[in-house]
């Protein structure tokens, strides 16, 4: 019999803040006031601050002196730089990954792509983004270059608050998944060049979607208009 551990207050706050950030309720540039969150949830400040510190470690919030915690904001130029660097690293990783891929990698990539498709059909956009990222990570993993993969993970984390799927319409979301499918087919076929070309097209669409959410120049405290 499985025993389910109840959520701690910190875990509950963490889950709620992560949801608000991913859903765009706390857009980039928003200052998150510990007192305001604690008051809205009817709890003490301690679990709120603990949750925010965890989110800071994940890159979903930053801590600014004399300001407090905020959802990180990026300019269009910064997003362009991040995706440019992603392209350089991903192309090399994919080039090395394809000849190293095993049947288990191909099966895992197929499963993640199907999960992303299912989430999109259910209009669970955050789950679609999460399974999409998992698909990318699985396809890249066989490159067997852990330092390169850690660098890519950091670049992914830097744009988590600019999820393209949350900013695109239904047609744009379906296009992203169609590109996942093209990448999957190339990966399964062992066609490294086609995979790299498909990944480049996909990154351009992700960048375009992310730039739709380029942050305002002023910060808006959470809970205030």
Please provide the CATH number assigned to the domain covering 76-211.
1.20.120.530
Question: Given this model, what pLDDT does residue 216 score?
Answer: 42
Pick the more confident residue, 214 or 209. Answer: 209
Helix (DSSP H) and strand (DSSP E) numbers for the chain: 10, 3
The tens digit of pLDDT for each residue in 46-61 reads 999 999 999 998 888 9
Question: Given this model, what pLDDT does residue 215 score?
Answer: 46
pLDDT band at 203 (very low <50, low <70, confident <90, very high): very high
The tens digit of pLDDT for each residue in 1-51 reads 444 454 788 888 998 998 888 878 888 889 999 999 999 989 999 999 999
pLDDT band at 213 (very low <50, low <70, confident <90, very high): low
Residues paired with residue 62 on neighbouring β-strands, in sequence order: 70
Q: On the CB side of 42, how many CA atoms lie within 13 Å of its CA?
A: 0
Q: Give the CATH architecture of domain 9-70.
A: Orthogonal Bundle (1.10)
- Please say whether the beta carbons of 62 and 69 come within 8 A: yes
pLDDT, averaged across the chain: 90
Average pLDDT over residues 102-114: 98
Say what angle helices 146-158 and 125-140 make with each other, to 10 degrees.
160
**Distance (Å, rounded) from C-alpha 69 to C-alpha 91?**
35
Domain boundaries, the chain: 9-70, 76-211
Sort 181 into a burial class: Cβ within 10 Å, 0-12 / 13-18 / 19+.
middle
- Please say whether the beta carbons of 31 and 219 come within 8 A: yes
pLDDT band at 225 (very low <50, low <70, confident <90, very high): very low
Sheet containing 31-32, strands listed edge to edge, beginning at the edge strand earlier in sequence:
31-32, 68-70, 62-64
Out of 88-97, 156-165, 208-217, pick the least confident: 208-217
């Amino acid at each position: 019999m499985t025993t389910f551990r109840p959520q701690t207050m910190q875990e509950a706050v963490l889950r709620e803040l992560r949801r608000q950030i991913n859903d765009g309720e706390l857009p980039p540039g928003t200052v998150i006031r510990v007192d305001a969150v604690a008051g809205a949830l009817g709890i003490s400040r301690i679990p709120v601050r603990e949750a925010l510190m965890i989110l800071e470690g994940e890159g979903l919030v930053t801590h600014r002196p004399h300001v407090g915690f905020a959802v990180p904001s990026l300019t269009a130029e910064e997003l362009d730089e991040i995706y440019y660097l992603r392209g350089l690293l991903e192309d090399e990783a994919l080039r090395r990954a394809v000849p190293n891929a095993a049947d288990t990698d191909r099966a895992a990539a197929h499963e993640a792509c199907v999960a992303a498709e299912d989430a999109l059909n259910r209009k669970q956009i955050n789950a679609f983004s999460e399974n999409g990222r998992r698909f990318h990570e699985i396809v890249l993993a066989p490159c067997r270059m852990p330092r390169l993969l850690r660098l890519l993970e950091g670049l992914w984390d830097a744009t988590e608050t600019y999820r393209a799927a949350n900013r695109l319409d239904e047609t744009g979301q379906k296009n992203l998944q169609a590109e996942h499918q093209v990448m999957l087919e190339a990966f399964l076929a062992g066609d490294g060049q086609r995979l790299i070309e498909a990944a480049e097209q996909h990154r351009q669409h992700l960048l375009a979607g992310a730039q739709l959410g380029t942050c305002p120049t002023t910060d808006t405290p959470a809970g205030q208009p």
